[in-house]
């Protein structure tokens, strides 16, 4: 707790020390590189908001690692006003109910994700608001799949490998497959791969595959879970805006968020093909491996919900009923 408080003071001091006009909203992304689709999508939204509000709301975008804020603390940093706007993909430590959408092997297609999201949206918005945060929209990466420096061409080869995960739910999956889950932020992954702290990562080709691909040799494309992100704003700062400006911000996000998802999905196939051309071993999972992975992890779904409480049990039941799963 003391370290977290010091970190937040450091953020405030850094923000105060930079010559940023009071009308400018400091914005943070979990993406560590400007080449990433989520970063480019966020920049499109910020530019559109500045234009549509005639500069009444301006932004200064900071990449992951440029402020003393861990990706897992973005929700909290937006809620307490250290930053005022962000794309947030590592929110599960603060918004646990959203873990329904990250449960391994539960959601198989983008259509199933959208079906589940419509059910989960009011639950998620309510938990974000309890953190002092307003949700303005969301976007979606393709399935997170395993990349490794070690041979990984079938499910059993995951055993013993140290794999960087992006959520507790993903960690539970890795444990059930015999692997060793490791949690670390995106900026720490390159050094983790170089030192052997991790053997590989779970990510999408259009995400980590795009920036870490040269450090990895194998890609086992078992569709473990989707990775979604939310465009969020500090509630107090947002509420101070006029209703007209608020609506313009909502309209910009609603109109442009789908372009982030579309760009990322387009890049997924392109980057996967590029990595294969450079020598990466790309393996599609055998149907038997998909069935076995689902069998091993499906009991975890209800266990997870019970650990979160009655509301999570209710939400998961609604999602499973809608999916027939």
CATH number at 179 reads: 3.40.190.170
Structure confidence at residue 186 (pLDDT): 80
CA angle (69, 122, 255) in 5-degree steps: 75
Q: What's the confidence (pLDDT) of residue 1?
A: 43
Distance CA 96, CA 207 (A): 23
Report the greatest alpha carbon distance in the chain. 58
The total number of structural domains that make up the chain? 1
Query: Is it the case that residue 21 has pLDDT exceeding 70?
Result: no
> Which tokens in the block code for residue 218?
């194998």
Residue 145's DSSP bridge partners are 203
Instruction: Answer whether 218's CB lies under 8 Å from 145's CB.
Output: no
What is the C-alpha separation between 102 and 185, in angstroms, rounded? 18
What confidence score (pLDDT) does residue 2 get?
42
The residues near 45 (Cβ < 8 Å, ≥ 6 apart) are: 231, 252, 253, 256, 257, 260
pLDDT higher than 60, residue 11: no
Share of residues in the chain with pLDDT > 90 (%): 87
Which pLDDT band, with edges at 50, 70 and 90, does 187 fall under? Answer: confident
Parallel/antiparallel/unpaired status of strands 162-165 and 58-62: unpaired
pLDDT of residue 219: 98
Give the model confidence (pLDDT) of 32-88 as tens digits: 889 899 999 999 999 999 999 999 999 999 999 999 999 999 999 999 999 999 999
Calpha distance 220→283 (Å, rounded): 5
CA 135/CA 235 separation, integer angstroms: 9
The pLDDT of residue 262 is above 90: yes
Backbone CA torsion sign across 113, 116, 121, 127? negative
199-249 residue pLDDT tens = 999 999 998 999 999 999 999 999 999 999 999 999 999 999 999 999 999
Report pLDDT digits (tens) over 267-303: 999 999 999 999 999 999 999 999 999 999 999 999 9
**In 150-209, which ranges are continuous DSSP H helix?**
168-176, 189-195
* pLDDT score for 185: 79
Note whether 85 and 238 are within 8 A (CB): no
pLDDT of 6 reads: 45
| pLDDT at position 23 | 73
pTM value?
Answer: 0.85
For residues 84, 212, 281, 168, the Cα torsion angle rounded to the nearest 10 degrees is: -40
Antiparallel, parallel or unpaired: β 133-148 and 180-183? unpaired
Give pLDDT, residue 9: 40
Exposed (0-12), middle (13-18) or buried (19+): which is 133, by Cβ within 10 Å?
buried
**Across 118-140, average pLDDT:** 97
Q: Which domain holds residue 262?
A: 2-323
pLDDT at residue 283 in the model: 98
**Burial tier of 304 (Cβ tally within 10 Å: 0-12, 13-18, 19+):** buried
């Amino acid at each position: 707790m003391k370290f977290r408080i010091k970190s937040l003071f450091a953020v405030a001091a850094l923000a105060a020390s930079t010559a940023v006009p009071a009308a400018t909203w400091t914005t943070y992304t979990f993406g560590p590189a400007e080449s990433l689709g989520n970063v480019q999508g966020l920049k499109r939204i910020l530019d559109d908001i500045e234009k549509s509000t005639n500069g009444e709301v301006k932004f200064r975008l900071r990449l992951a690692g440029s402020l003393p804020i861990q990706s897992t603390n973005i929700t909290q940093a937006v809620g307490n006003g250290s930053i005022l706007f962000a794309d947030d993909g590592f929110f599960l430590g603060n918004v646990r109910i959203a873990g329904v959408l990250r449960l391994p092997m539960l959601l198989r297609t983008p259509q199933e994700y959208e079906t589940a999201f419509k059910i989960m949206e009011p639950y998620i918005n309510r938990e974000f608001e309890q953190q002092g945060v307003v949700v303005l929209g969301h976007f979606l990466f393709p399935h997170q799949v395993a990349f490794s420096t070690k041979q990984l061409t079938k499910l059993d080869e995951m055993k013993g490998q140290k794999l960087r995960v992006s959520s507790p739910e993903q960690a539970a999956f890795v444990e059930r497959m015999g692997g060793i889950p490791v949690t670390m932020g995106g900026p720490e992954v390159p050094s983790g791969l170089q030192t052997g702290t991790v053997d590989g990562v779970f990510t999408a080709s259009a995400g980590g595959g795009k920036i870490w691909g040269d450090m990895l040799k194998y890609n086992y494309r078992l569709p473990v879970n989707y990775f979604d992100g939310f465009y969020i704003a500090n509630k107090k700062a947002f509420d101070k805006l006029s209703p007209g400006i608020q609506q313009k911000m909502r309209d910009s996000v609603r109109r442009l968020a789908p372009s982030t998802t579309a760009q990322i999905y387009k890049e997924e196939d392109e980057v996967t093909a590029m990595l294969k051309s450079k020598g990466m071993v790309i393996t599609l999972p055998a149907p038997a491996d998909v069935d076995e992975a689902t069998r091993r992890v499906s009991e975890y779904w209800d266990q997870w919900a019970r650990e979160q409480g009655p509301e999570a049990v209710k939400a998961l039941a609604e999602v499973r009923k809608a999916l027939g799963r």
